Structure 1
Amino acid sequence: MEKLTLALVSHGPLGAGRWGLEYITPRAIKDDELLVRMVATGICRADIHFGDFSITETATNPAAYYPRVMGHEGAGYVEQVGNSAEGFKPNDPVLLSFMSCGKCYNCEADHPAYCVKSFECNFLGERNVYYPDARRDDDPQVGIAGSFFGQSSFSSKAIVKSATVVNLDGLGVTHSDLPILAPLGCGVQTGAGAFTNIANVQPDHDVAVLGVGGVGMSAILAAAMIGCRTIIAIDNVQSRLEMAKSLGATHTVNTSDPNLDLVSKIFEFTDSRGVHTSLDTTGIQRLARQSWDFVRFQGKVLQAGLANSDAQWQVSMADHLITGRLIIGCLQGDAIPQVYVREMVSWYLAGKFPVDKLVRCYPAGEWQQALEDMQNGTTIKPVLLWPDQHTSRI
């Protein structure tokens, strides 16, 4: 078994100070798995949510348990390949994305983001994938869970399911590109895919994005690349709005204004038409519900955020019938990662999709600062760099 793998391990709620870096030992890989030497891992809010469960929740939620390794926006190089993992060889550069069963009706129809076993595949994980480096042979309570999103990439070496892996071999990516590209497998894919895949927005379309963190800013990049007529960024952090404007937003709205009439403001920006598509990344019911009101008839309301599991849209059937508006859940941009991630990489290399402007890298030892900067809005997309990186060109 591999040894001295540095990982960010959750032994309890983040808020209780139970996360920390330590050395762990991966078990042997299975036939459908790869061992990947991680270069970088993006931090997503899902890592925080699923790694910060209270003691009460661990008694009732099957996805809430400790100890475990989180992380699901990994980038690195293949070290070992399982017997049934086809299409990979040692030293292939790879990005990691989400997991799907590959067998349900949605997976077979090329919509793996909506796999009917998505919760089981991505959030339950697998116990006893790693072990503390200093474990005692007579101690049975030593297992550390992995396979969060099929990867658990908050680690310098990660055992990953082959279904999560996107091979970048042959694309001309350099080693220094990998930290920039790490978030493509989740946050960037979700935001960009919302407009390019789910809504199919066009150059003459008007769009709005509520919440311009990593997902929302990626949607702004996609809309700008497409050349949308009106791109409206909505947030309560002015620095984020200024960045959105620099990335292609034509208008911005700061929701911290106590006198704001958001619906009227959007109609003002669109000559009373409303937008063709809105993307809500906040999950805040009040904001999301207003997006229904400022989307034009037969427009699309995309939901990519969820702040409260009890939140509801509260749309009358009469309004739904008369307006023809669609409310669509947005998971992973409805992407096939092995296709879409490579496409996004090509956009980036061609200079059309500047995701580098969203990323700030931190040594793994500064993970707490990275989390703090993401929470307060200083950094849009923090990426952790793992030690022992190689500097060779791919």
Structure 2
Amino acid sequence: MSQYTVPCKGIVAYSEHDWKFEDLLTREPHEDEFMVEMIATGVCHTDISGYGGIYPRVLGHEGAGRILRLGSKSLEKNFKPGDLVILSAASCQSCHYCTTGHPAYCTSHAAVTLHANDPNFVLAADPSRVIGGGYFGQSSFASPTPVKATCAANVSALVRNAHDLIAYAPLGCGIMTGAGAITHVARCTPSDVLAVVGLGGVGLAAICAAKHLGVQTIIAADLVPARVELARTLGATHGLHSAPAELEARGTDLQGAIRALTPGGRGATHVLDTSPSVVVLGACLEAVANNGTVLQVGVKPVGARLELDTLAHMVHGRRLVGVIEGDRDPVEALPELVRWCKEGFLPVEKLLRNYPVGEFAAAREAMEKGEVIKGVLVW
């Protein structure tokens, strides 16, 4: 008898650019999973770019929804049917990093996130056609869907109803990454000087976090002037239109323009690079002050290499730090971010545009063109 007994709908990625909304069948949850009815799912550039390169597959890793049923009684300590959950990245919960509070660096991270391809779905019209799932432990471009309990934070005590949960769906990836990079990796203080290069959801969340920490100098740089102005409303003290033509007209480059906005022209104590460009990453290193830190959250092309003057790097005491998921445990971080939203520290509503799930193509296109900060698919 077939294991695929649960009707669902999902966006199937047949290639990077070929996405289709399909009638599917899925399976019942395993012992370490529960079945979730999706309420909303954020669209991330990681989904759009198809990181992992596996097709066909159901993507989606910024889900929020309602638990329908548990896969085993062992989950009853933290979850029950009807609970509202925000989803993030799954982890093994048993390796050195998971047991010491750093599940973002789980030794199985790639296997349970980008490379996860469990046979979770089949096409309803052709049950012999298996579709991969389990992306980041959730594949939240489908509903209902089996979800790994390790990727879920229970927010039922903080969120009144399903409608309110929609605004919090994107917290589990980019926003957690940007905020955590500032609060838990850089650990910025009011006297620090922060520059944020790239003002998508990650960069803008970082600016909100820096403002919350009382950082007195926050420089926001982006190619799009409207995003720079939005960053100012969120707490940036300085804005920089960083389009190459704009910088050239001013007779400077990115690192020079950032340094010019820092006290004494010394450079930033921290630069958050959210861009996909290795050239930009190099400029960020030149923009930091002595003993400064570049936080790399932007995903560069596979195999890309950075040329570095190692003597200058040593003499100036610069640090280059890679950051995944803000080095946060979602169980702790996501309720905290919900509280930030409710208290006004993170006005997430300024970053979102909602789309009915059937309009996923429009949401994707708007994200690719930079017309929206974060598209959210509402089920």
Q: TM-score, normalised by structure 2?
A: 0.93
Amino acid across the alignment from 2:212: M
- Return the match for 1:151 from 113, 129, 138: 138
The structure 1 residue matched to 2:228, chosen from 232, 241, 252, is: 241
Q: Are the equivalent residues in 2 in contact too, given 1:283–1:303 (CA < 8 A)? A: no
Q: Does 1:167 align with 2:177?
A: no
Partners of 2:182 and 2:238 lie apart in 1 by 18
Q: How many Å separate the matches in 1 of 2:219 and 2:164?
A: 29
Q: How does 1:131-142 map to 2 (within 5 A)?
A: 131-136=122-127, 139=128, 142=129
Which residue number corresponds to residue 85 of structure 2?
94
Paired residue type of 1:276: T
Q: CA deviation at 1:322?
A: 1.4
Kept after mapping to 2: 8 A contact 1:129/1:145: yes
Flag as ranges the 4+ runs of structure 1 deviating above 3 A. Answer: 1-4
CA deviations 1:197-252 (Å, max 9, x no partner) are: 10000122110111111111111111122221111111111121121112111111
Report percent identity of matched pairs: 39
Q: Secondary structure at the match of 2:361?
A: helix
Structure 1 residue 279: deviation in Å?
Answer: 0.5
Aligned residue in 2 for 1:121:
112
| Equivalent residue number for residue 60 of structure 1 | none
Query: Structure 1 98/246 Cα, relative in aligned 2: closer, same or farther at 3 Å?
Result: same
Contact 1:188 1:215 in 2 (8 A): yes
Structure 2 partner of 1:268? 260
- For the 8 Å contact 1:2–1:26, the answer to whether it is kept is yes
Which residue does the alignment assign to 1:6? 9
Give the counterpart letter for 1:300 in structure 2.
T
Amino acid at match of 1:78: I
Select the residue among 241, 256, 277 that pairs with 1:254. 241
Which residue pairs with 1:29 in the alignment? 29
Equivalent in the alignment of 2:95:
104
- 1:295 is aligned to 288
**1:67 partner amino acid:** P
Q: Deviations over 1:98-122 (max 9, x none)?
A: 0112222211211111112211111
Alpha-carbon RMSD:
1.5
Provide the rounded CA distance (Å) in 1 between the counterparts of 2:198 and 2:279: 13
Query: What is the one-letter code of the residue matched to 2:35?
Result: L
Distance of 1:354 and 1:158 partners within structure 2: 29
Q: Please, which of 186, 201, 206 is the counterpart of residue 214 of structure 1?
A: 201
Verify the 8 A CA contact 2:273 2:295 in the aligned structure 1: yes
Shift of 1:254: 1.5
The equivalent residue for 1:311 is: 304
Contact map agreement 2:54 2:117 (CA 8 A) in 1: no
Secondary structure in 1 aligned to 2:28?
A: coil
Letter in 2 for 1:80: R
Q: Which of 48, 60, 64 is the equivalent residue of 1:75?
A: 64
Deviation at 1:3, TM superposition (A): 3.8
* Structure 1 Cα separation of the partners of residues 95 and 310 of structure 2: 31
* Aligned mates of 2:105, 2:240 — CA distance in 1: 32
- Which of 204, 220, 224 is the matching residue for 2:211? 224
Provide the rounded CA distance (Å) in 1 between the counterparts of 2:188 and 2:16. 40
Whole-Å Cα distance in 1 between the matches of residues 159 and 118 of structure 2?
Answer: 37
CA contact (8 A) 1:127 1:143 kept: no
- The residue that corresponds to 1:357 in the other structure is 350
Match of 2:363 among 370, 382, 390: 370
CA distance in 1, matches of 2:256, 2:125: 61
For 1:321, which of 314, 333, 343 is the aligned residue?
A: 314
Give the Å deviation of 1:258. Answer: 4.6
For residues 357 and 241 of structure 1, the distance between their equivalents in structure 2, rounded to whole angstroms, comes to 13
Matches of 2:64 and 2:5 in 1, distance apart?
19
Distance (Å, rounded) in 1 between the aligned partners of 2:160 and 2:219: 32
> Is contact 1:95-1:166 (8 Å) kept?
yes
Contact 1:69-1:148 within 8 A present in 2 as well: yes
Equivalent residue pairs, number? 368
- The alpha-carbon deviation at position 81 of structure 1 amounts to 0.5
TM-score between the two structures when normalised by the length of structure 1: 0.90
Q: Distance in 2 between matches of 1:85 and 1:48?
A: 32
SS of residue paired to 1:143:
strand
TM-aligned CA deviation for residue 26 of structure 1:
1.0
Partner of 1:54: none
Q: Within the alignment, does 1:342 sit opposite 2:342 as a pair?
A: no
One-letter amino acid of the structure 2 residue matched with residue 89 of structure 1: K
Tell me the distance in 2 between the aligned counterparts of 1:229 and 1:174: 37
Q: Distance in 2 between matches of 1:383 and 1:318?
A: 46
> 1:7: Cα distance to partner?
0.7
* Structure 1 unaligned residues grouped into runs of 5+: 52-62, 387-394
Amino acid of the structure 2 residue aligned with 1:378: E
- Going from structure 1 to structure 2, the CA distance change for 1:273 and 1:111 (only over 3 Å counts) comes to same
